[in-house]
Each structure stands twice: as C-alpha cells, then as structure tokens.
C-alpha cells in the first residue's frame, strides 16, 4: 500500500491540540525549536495564567518560566503542606534542571522573570532566602542550620529559624563536578534535602538542620550535561530528583523592556495572597475524580517502564511520585488543598515532557521517546510495515486505558518524525491506519 502520510482530519482525536504558546501566530517571531514541545495542558490554573500574562514580555521558554514558578512557589509555601505516598511524606519541593543551549536556551531569562514576580509578591523571601553556589553539603546545611546551644552557658548562637530556600544555580555543571570529588558529601545531602529529611554530617556533630525545605533550579547546557553525566552518578539517585526540562528561546524580542510595573504589581498581589494561604495548609489529598484518573491511567502509564534500564530510566526513575508532588503544587497555587483532575493531568503532562526532554538531551544513548507506551506504539507501527497498524489494533494493545488516553497517545505518535495517520474508506466508518515512512536520504 502506498499512501502519503498526513494527519487525519480536524474531527479526528488523533490530531494534536492547539498550543498557543508555541504555535506560529501573526505578529510573533518564533525561532525554530530544535527539541520537544510541552503539551498545552501543563499551563493550567494560576500558574498557567501567569505564564501567559508574562510570555509577551520575555524571550524565555514558557515551560522554563512554568517550572521556575512551580519550584519557587513550592519553596515559599514551605514544609507545612504535604501528601502521603505510601508511608513516605512528600513536601511541596520541586527541583528542575533547565537544559538549553548557552546562547539560545534563555535559562536565566526564565528564572529572572520569576525572580521579578516574587520580588513584588514576597520581597523579604527573595532578599534573604535565595542563595546561589552549591559548593558542598556542609555549606548547604549551614544555610538552614539549627541554632546551637552552648551546654555550659546555655547561650544560643548561629542558625536560622526559617528553613525555606530557593536555590537557583546558574552553573549547575560546576555543582555536578563538585559532587563527584572524592569524599564530597554534596550528593548525599542533596538526596536527603529532596526528601525533606533532617540534614547532618557525621564529622561535625553540631552541624544539623531539622525540617529543611529546599527547592532547586539548575541551569546547564545539553552538551555539558552529557559530558558530565556518568552512569554511577545517575544510579546514585541525585539526578532523578530533578525534572529535566528542555528550554529554548521562544520569541525574538529585539526591543524588549520586560513586563510593565503595573502588571508585576498586580500579579505580585495575587501571588502574595495565594502563597500566604497555601502556607496554612496541612495534608493534601486527591479528589475522587483525580484518584480515579491516577489509578486508571496515570500510575499505570508512569509505571510502564519500571523494568527498563539504561541512562533514561535512571534519569526518570521517580516519575510517579514526582507527578503527585507537582500536582500538589499546582493545587496549592490554585488555592486548594485538594488535587483535582486538572492538577493531576497538568502534572502528568509535565512529567511526560521531562521524559521527552531527557530523551532529547541524552540523544542516541537514550534510543527512546521517553515514554514507554509511546515507544511501544512506535515499535508496533514500524513492525507493521507498509500495511500499517489499525486503530482497532491500538485499542487491543492498550485496552487497559481509556479512549481519550489512546487518542492522546496516537496524536503524540503522529508528531514523531516519519509517523502519520491515514483514513482508509471501507464499509461503514473509515478505518484509521498508523504508518511509518522514514524520510528518503538526501
């Protein structure tokens, strides 16, 4: 069978949704994007509204601004809100590595945009609790250390009472190099910090930090990440604490002067109120609707690659708990202590994007899209050859999942190079066939 590959008509669910923050539009100068594009579903709620409001004022990638907002928002909220995953207490801590080319990634622009917003919303926090320079595990503990009481005099000295930090590390490659030094404690301390555990080192008994709440954003280029990443580091578990997020300049704004002060003041007031309310929350739970989505679709999908190994699997090993953590922060920033379906759907879409980012960043070593289900479907379409894979066969392959979930999966398949869908006339409704036709060599 010889057909031209094309996406099926607009009425078919396999057609990808509109993505206003990335789609070409009149009056916008968008550079070509050399990597994955996030699902528009990630831009939900207050966080999404804020990204959309600020997007015309910066060349930063919208998803870069998004993860900075989630990370910084979780840091300001602090250790009060939490959710149980099994017997593990998970705080509202989000770590992300924004990975983009030095000249075109606009990693710093994304963090600067959020810094400016938080300077309007929580100026005291931004002035005192946003350090840089992750030089050692001991240094990180000192930034949130407990006060020390002299056993003889009873005098209390040093330490801090507020254990919240938002660390933006603009040269995360340097941090990676430091953590590989023999005897370095930084990697182990970071792993404890992501868990929200008390921090300490055995060789300095007085140096302890109880109930730390540390969020981190790291900036690094794809080349530097690949050069410094070693399998032993991945297996150690430090880097699967980070969501890898590919970023690229999204607009060309030669005369940009940033967001108007009035806009920042307005957004700052909204965020100040939201963050203050979120700090009073305790346990966060899923609504019945979100819990059903988690059990029927999200958890099975995120657990599909548990038996995989290799660099990508190590990088994304915490996808399932991270989806719930991110969903919690989305909910808190929407002013609620209940994770609803839109929050969980947005978090799931962001974790999928992180997987796709890792696959893109790691390159041929990953040999995957980052989504085990999408890999399975792509392999089946290739194996079907020129006859193609029918929609009914897709339903059999993924019968545990809902029809909307399968439609989203096939839509993402059609966005991969060489893949497409055609409709073949027949008795009754036309049959959708998925095909793979690699580009002819030049």
User: In percent, how much of the chain has pLDDT > 70?
Assistant: 86
Which residues lie below 8 Å from residue 408, measured CB to CB, with a gap of 6+? 13
Q: Provide the β-strand partners of residue 209.
A: 199
pLDDT higher at 4 or 328: 328
Question: pLDDT tens digits, residue range 300-354?
Answer: 988 876 555 566 666 667 889 999 999 999 999 999 999 999 999 999 999 999 9
Q: Which residue has the higher pLDDT, 150 or 182?
A: 150
Q: How far is CA 49 from CA 110, 249, 334, 350, in A?
A: 16, 20, 11, 16
Nearest to 352 by CA among 379, 380, 326, 378: 326
Residue 363, sorted as left (phi over 0), alpha (psi -120 to 50) or beta, turns out to be left
Mean pLDDT of the region 198-221: 86
In the predicted structure, residue 280 carries a pLDDT above the cut 90: yes
pLDDT in tens, 53-78: 999 999 999 999 999 999 999 999 99
Query: Helix and strand tally (H, E) in the chain?
Result: 18, 15
Per-residue pLDDT at 167: 96
At 27, is the secondary structure helix, strand, or coil? coil
pLDDT exceeds 90 at position 41: yes
Q: Is the pTM of this model over 0.75?
A: yes
Rounded Cα gap, residues 316 and 302, in angstroms: 10
Question: Which of 148, 149, 318, 156 is closest to 243 using CA atoms?
Answer: 318
Contact 275, 121 (CB under 8 A): yes
pLDDT higher than threshold 90 for residue 137:
no
pLDDT of residue 236: 55
**What is the model's pLDDT at position 317?**
76
| Token pair belonging to 393 | 């066969």
Q: Which of 248-262, 326-340, 406-420 has the lowest mean pLDDT?
A: 406-420
For range 115-120, the mean pLDDT: 98
Mean pLDDT score across all residues of the chain: 87
The CA–CA distances, whole Å, from 327 to 141, 149, 232, 259, 351 equal: 28, 40, 30, 28, 10
Q: What are phi and psi for residue 87, nearest 5 degrees?
A: -100, 15
Percent of the chain with pLDDT over 90: 59
Report the pLDDT value the prediction gives residue 424, as an integer from 0 to 100: 85
* Cα angle 214-46-20, degrees, rounded to a multiple of 5: 115
For the chain, how big is the Rg over CA atoms in Å? 23
Quickly state the pLDDT bin for 5 (edges 50, 70, 90).
Answer: very low
């Amino acid at each position: 069978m010889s057909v031209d590959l094309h996406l099926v008509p607009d009425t078919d669910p396999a057609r990808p949704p509109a993505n206003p923050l990335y789609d070409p539009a009149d009056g916008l100068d968008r550079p070509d994007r050399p990597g994955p594009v996030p699902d528009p579903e990630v831009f939900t709620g207050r966080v999404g509204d804020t990204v959309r409001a600020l997007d015309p004022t910066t060349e930063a990638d919208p998803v870069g601004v998004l993860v900075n907002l989630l990370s910084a928002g979780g840091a300001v909220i602090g250790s009060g809100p939490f959710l149980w995953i099994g017997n593990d207490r998970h705080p509202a801590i989000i770590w992300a590595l924004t990975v983009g080319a030095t000249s075109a990634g606009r990693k710093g622009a994304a963090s600067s945009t959020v810094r400016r917003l938080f300077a309007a919303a929580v100026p005291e926090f931004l002035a005192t609790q946003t350090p840089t320079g992750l030089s050692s595990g001991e240094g990180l503990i000192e930034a949130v250390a407990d006060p020390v009481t002299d056993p003889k005099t009873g005098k209390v000295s040093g330490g801090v009472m507020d254990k919240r930090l938002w660390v933006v590390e603009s040269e995360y490659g340097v941090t990676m190099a430091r953590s590989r030094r023999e005897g370095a404690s930084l990697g182990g301390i970071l792993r404890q910090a992501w868990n929200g555990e008390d921090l300490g080192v055995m060789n300095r008994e007085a140096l302890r930090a109880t109930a730390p709440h540390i969020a981190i954003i790291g900036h690094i280029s794809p080349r530097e990440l690949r050069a410094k990443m070693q399998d032993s580091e991945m297996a150690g578990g430090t880097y699967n604490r980070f969501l890898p997020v590919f970023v690229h300049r999204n607009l060309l704004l030669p005369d940009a002067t940033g967001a108007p002060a009035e806009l920042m003041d307005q957004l700052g007031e909204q965020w100040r109120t939201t963050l203050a309310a979120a700090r009073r929350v305790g346990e966060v739970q899923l609504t019945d609707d979100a819990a059903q989505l988690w059990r029927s679709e999200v958890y099975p999908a995120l657990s599909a690659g548990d038996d995989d190994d290799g660099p990508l699997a190590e990088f994304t090993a915490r996808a399932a708990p991270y989806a719930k953590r991110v969903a919690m922060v989305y909910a808190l920033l929407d002013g609620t202590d209940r994770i609803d379906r839109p929050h969980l759907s947005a978090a799931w879409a962001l974790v999928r994007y992180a997987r796709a980012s890792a696959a893109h960043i790691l390159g041929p070593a990953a040999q995957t899209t980052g989504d085990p289900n999408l890999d399975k479907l792509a392999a089946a379409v290739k194996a079907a050859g020129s006859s193609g894979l029918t929609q009914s066969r897709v339903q059999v392959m993924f019968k545990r999942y809902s029809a909307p979930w399968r439609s989203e999966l096939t839509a993402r398949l059609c966005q991969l190079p060489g893949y497409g869908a055609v409709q073949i006339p027949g008795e009754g409704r036309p049959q959708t066939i998925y095909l793979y036709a690699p580009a002819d060599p030049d």
